[in-house]
Amino acid sequence: MTHGQSSSAEAKATVIDGKAVAAEIIAKVAVETGRLIAAGGVAPGLAVVLVGDDAASQVYVGAKGRKATELGFHSVQHTLPLSTSEAEVLAIVGELNRDPAIHGILVQLPLPRHIDTTKVIEAIDPAKDVDGFHPINVGRLAIGERDRALVSCTPAGCLLLIQRVLGDLAGKNALVIGRSNIVGKPMAQLLLQESCTVTVAHSRSRDLPGLARQADIIVAAVGRPEMVRGDWIKPGAVIIDVGMNRIPAPERGQGKTRLVGDVAYAEAAAVASAITPVPGGVGPMTIAMLMANTLTAACRAAGKPEPTF
Amino acid sequence: MTHGQSSSAEAKATVIDGKAVAAEIIAKVAVETGRLIAAGGVAPGLAVVLVGDDAASQVYVGAKGRKATELGFHSVQHTLPLSTSEAEVLAIVGELNRDPAIHGILVQLPLPRHIDTTKVIEAIDPAKDVDGFHPINVGRLAIGERDRALVSCTPAGCLLLIQRVLGDLAGKNALVIGRSNIVGKPMAQLLLQESCTVTVAHSRSRDLPGLARQADIIVAAVGRPEMVRGDWIKPGAVIIDVGMNRIPAPERGQGKTRLVGDVAYAEAAAVASAITPVPGGVGPMTIAMLMANTLTAACRAAGKPEPTF
């Protein structure tokens, strides 16, 4: 955690340094991986399946593979042509399910249209579903069995950032903006489990500014550039910005762009007590939690105690 | 739906007649059961498993069995002594899973302490889990695959009552008080799916009256007699009272009791636009939705179209 950036005279908020927190988690994963191996376990194994040649997906998959290798994981990547059939993808998932050297299976989304995403996700052994997307993992999180579930990486990372700032969350009013299966809904479940009063808002919600002004914690995950304004924020609130929106930045030159979140950063930083920047906030946490989930799955497979993050 | 009871000069709210709505659902289940059988399907089969001799559980199980028989369902009841082992319960569940005449399996809760409830619930074939408690059903509801899930009966019934009064729920502010796995959490998921802005409050929430005053819909499911007061309610709100609390009623004679909900009925009825009474509101809906779920499971097993409720 570093204090308010000097670049904005207005900013009062603590900048939540996701990069630094993620690095701590990665360091812990490294230590615990060594411990697991020393205790007679095998190295955690992560398999990533990529279908097609989407450029962004290639970047993500590459980053995940490198981080896994860096940590001493067994890392496998299946890169399949766009023409791959659903049956072929299911066959690979089946093989990975049976492979005792693989503890985590991640099928990079989105899949091409001719493949049924739900079918593929449900084919993954829930114990290896390190993305936390299998309905049985979603269900276990919802019914309070997080210790038997694997939880979606981005919201799990957001929760850790919030807890770093606030400690115990019981009784806090939390607003989650966005109701995706990947971020909004599991985020709400995690905050509810921490005894927040949780509100989920979305595109059909009325008076979003009014809802936001009552929140001690706001998690914005809608994909609309700088939608959450400074005057929506209760003084002292903690703001987690999951958005990653590329917008034109003509001030940087013709055709240039820049990344912004779902929160108008400078305005929000003048009111909030703590805020995640974009980039460098939530982003780095996602990959760190993926590594943590893979280690967790490996510990469970080996019948060894799992570290807490 | 009947209009404000004349017994209270104050009451303005429509009394939501759960008994009448439940009767309509039961009638539809009867018609659709006939249609399924006529189309070459088998009669829906419901098996109820009861362990021990808890008096309340016996009453519930008896009512479920009678309703199933009345509807022409194949109805089976396993009543097992308190001393039954977990392995014996699991063996019975396994047999019922394999029995093609059985489409719905309900293990009456609570189970005796020496039996692991989670293990028993997870042993039920999710396609036969008519209580909607299996994590895969919970997960499918959460990720928006309600058409492949079976949904917990009480919140599914509450949703129908709310829709009867309000029609389209998009953009309504809904407050769910209580975060149980059986009512509060699935209720929140259902309301979110209907595009409500959903807040879940509970024992750790601050300023519950303030939260309630912003709600267009309140579902109270906490088990605290008459906790929700009239002055917590926004004029015109719709109030669903899941509570069933037995309290002393000395005015009825020594040792007498009466049933009240989680909402102070007379006060609330003076402010709300519609309210469920206790008894006769949510209660009858639960058993109706159990029958609807069993029919749904039977239609799916037979590969026949399922009716919507």
pLDDT tens for B133-182 read 999 999 999 999 999 999 999 999 999 999 999 999 999 999 999 999 99
Over pLDDT 90: what percentage of chain B?
95
**What are the catalytic residues of A?**
64, 108, 131
| Residues in chain A within 8 Å Cβ distance of B205 | 171, 197
Whether B163 and chain A come into contact, CB under 8 Å, resolves to no
Fold: same for A40-128 and A152-283: yes
What pLDDT is attached to residue A10?
64
Q: Do B173 and A206 touch (CB under 8 A)?
A: yes
**What are the catalytic residues of B?**
64, 108, 131
| Residues in chain A within 8 Å Cβ distance of B192 | 179, 185, 200
Q: Do B142 and A137 touch (CB under 8 A)?
A: no
- Residues 6 or more apart whose CB falls under 8 angstroms from that of A167 comprise none
Whether A173 and chain B come into contact, CB under 8 Å, resolves to yes
Sign of CA dihedral B31, B34, B40, B44: positive
Banded model confidence at residue A6, pLDDT cuts 50, 70, 90: very low
Chain mean pLDDT for chain A? 95
Chain mean pLDDT for chain B? 95
Over pLDDT 90: what percentage of chain A?
95
Mean pLDDT for the stretch of residues A268-276: 98
| Residues in chain B within 8 Å Cβ distance of A191 | none
Interface of B with A in 123-162 (CB under 8 A): 134-140, 142-145
What pLDDT is attached to residue A5?
46
A137, A139, A170: residue with CB nearest B204: A170
pLDDT tens for A84-121 read 999 999 999 999 999 999 999 999 999 999 999 999 99
pLDDT tens for B237-259 read 999 999 999 999 999 999 999 99
Whether B168 and chain A come into contact, CB under 8 Å, resolves to no
pLDDT tens for A221-248 read 999 999 999 999 999 999 999 999 999 9
Is it the case that residue B6 has pLDDT exceeding 90?
no
Over pLDDT 70: what percentage of chain B?
97
Q: Do A181 and B137 touch (CB under 8 A)?
A: no
A137, A145, A199: residue with CB nearest B197: A199
Strand A173-177 and strand B274-275: pairing?
Answer: unpaired
Q: Do A197 and B198 touch (CB under 8 A)?
A: no
What pLDDT is attached to residue B48?
97
pLDDT tens for B202-238 read 999 999 999 999 999 999 999 999 999 999 999 999 9
Q: Do A136 and B136 touch (CB under 8 A)?
A: yes
B139, B206, B211: residue with CB nearest A142: B139
Mean pLDDT for the stretch of residues B22-50: 95
Mean pLDDT for the stretch of residues A117-145: 98
Whether A78 and chain B come into contact, CB under 8 Å, resolves to no
- Residues 6 or more apart whose CB falls under 8 angstroms from that of A217 comprise A162, A166, A169, A172, A173, A174, A175, A191, A196, A237, A238, A240
What is the helix (H) or strand (E) element at residue B238, kind and residue range? strand B238-241
What are the extents of the domains in chain B?
A: 40-128, 152-283
What pLDDT is attached to residue A290?
98
Long-range contacts of A50-54 (CB under 8 A, 24+ apart): A50/A77, A50/A78, A50/A79, A50/A80, A50/A108, A51/A80, A51/A81, A51/A82, A51/A84, A51/A89, A51/A107, A51/A108, A51/A111, A51/A112, A51/A115, A52/A80, A52/A81, A52/A82, A52/A111, A52/A112, A53/A81, A53/A82, A54/A110
Q: Do B206 and A134 touch (CB under 8 A)?
A: no
Q: Do A202 and B195 touch (CB under 8 A)?
A: yes
Question: What is the per-residue DSSP string for A201-230?
Answer: E-TT-S-HHHHHTT-SEEEE-S--TT-B-G
| Residues in chain B within 8 Å Cβ distance of A195 | 202, 204
For residue A25, what are its two tokens? 């988690």
Whether A179 and chain B come into contact, CB under 8 Å, resolves to yes
CATH topology of domain B152-283: Rossmann fold (3.40.50)
Q: What class, spelled out in words, does domain A40-128 have in CATH?
A: alpha beta
Measured between CA atoms, the residue of chain A closest to residue B207 is A171
pLDDT tens for B71-96 read 999 999 999 999 999 999 999 999 99
Is it the case that residue A11 has pLDDT exceeding 90?
no
For residue A238, what are its two tokens? 């903690």
Q: Which residues pair with B228 in a beta bridge?
A: B263
B135, B202, B206: residue with CB nearest A143: B135
Banded model confidence at residue A275, pLDDT cuts 50, 70, 90: very high
CA distance linking residue B230 with residue A193, whole number of Å: 29
Q: Do B181 and A135 touch (CB under 8 A)?
A: no
Please give, rounded to a whole number of angstroms, the shortest distance from the CA of A128 to a CA of chain B: 16
Banded model confidence at residue A40, pLDDT cuts 50, 70, 90: confident
Is it the case that residue B273 has pLDDT exceeding 80?
yes
pTM for this prediction? 0.95
Query: Rounded to the nearest 10 degrees, what angle do helices A55-70 and A283-302 cross at?
Result: 50
B173, B179, B197: residue with CB nearest A192: B179
What pLDDT is attached to residue B40?
85
- Residues 6 or more apart whose CB falls under 8 angstroms from that of A38 comprise none
CA distance linking residue B67 with residue B56, whole number of Å: 17
Is it the case that residue A1 has pLDDT exceeding 50?
no
Banded model confidence at residue B111, pLDDT cuts 50, 70, 90: very high
Q: Do A135 and B134 touch (CB under 8 A)?
A: no
Q: Which of A59-63, A265-269, B263-267 has the lowest mean pLDDT?
A: A59-63
b/e for A111-135, b at 16 or more Cβ within 10 A? Answer: bbeebeeeebbbbbbbbbbbbbbbb
